[in-house]
Amino acid sequence: MEDTSNPPMRRSPWHIYPQNWQPNQWLVPFVGENAAILHGHTDPEDHSLCGPVLFCCANSQELYLRTFPESAEAQASWELTQAEHILTWLEGDVHVLYFVFCDPVRPEGLLAGGLSGEEARQVVLKEIPIEQFAEKAARLR
């Protein structure tokens, strides 16, 4: 009998990668010299939930900017950033990485969510696909 309790995770077929993209890179908006930060807190003294925003591809970037044209990311410079460099942020003061990614089911869908610790590391290195967290992610559009 087939196990249907955990249907197979579906990877997004909607990814569009920027020119010169390499498989170990993420698209990151930078404000000045720093990655754009999502402030995931209400206490102005607690920055433990603050972290940079990583985009899976140019499609997620375009959908996000269309949805949030007044955001800090809309004014940012965007850079392809190596996974190894992002990991240095986790080894420093960053505890959470926020991922914006293509919905694996809906072509115009956009999902977002924060990950920390080993899960964040594995996703950054693409050892596990970000789509694995689609059910837990917030729908942005």
pLDDT in tens, 38-90: 876 667 776 677 899 999 999 999 999 999 999 999 999 999 999 999 999 99
41-55 as b/e: b if 16+ CB within 10 A:
eeeeeeeebbbbbbb
- 19 located within any domain: no
18-40 as b/e: b if 16+ CB within 10 A:
eeeeeeebbbbbeeeeebbbbee
Number of CB atoms found within 10 A of residue 5's CB: 4
Query: Which of 41-45, 111-115, 124-128 has the least mean pLDDT?
Result: 41-45
> Could you give the number of structural domains in the chain?
1
- 77 located within any domain: yes
- 13 located within any domain: no
Rounded mean pLDDT of 95-123? 94
- 82 located within any domain: yes
List % helix, strand, coil for the chain (3-state, nearest 5): 25, 30, 45
Number of CB atoms found within 10 A of residue 128's CB: 14
- 120 located within any domain: no
Answer yes or no: pTM beyond 0.85. Answer: yes
- 84 located within any domain: yes
Rounded mean pLDDT of 19-48? 84
Distance CA 47, CA 26 (A): 23
Query: Which of 12-16, 29-33, 55-59, 60-64 has the least mean pLDDT?
Result: 12-16
Structure confidence at residue 3 (pLDDT): 43
Range of the domain at 88: 36-114+126-139
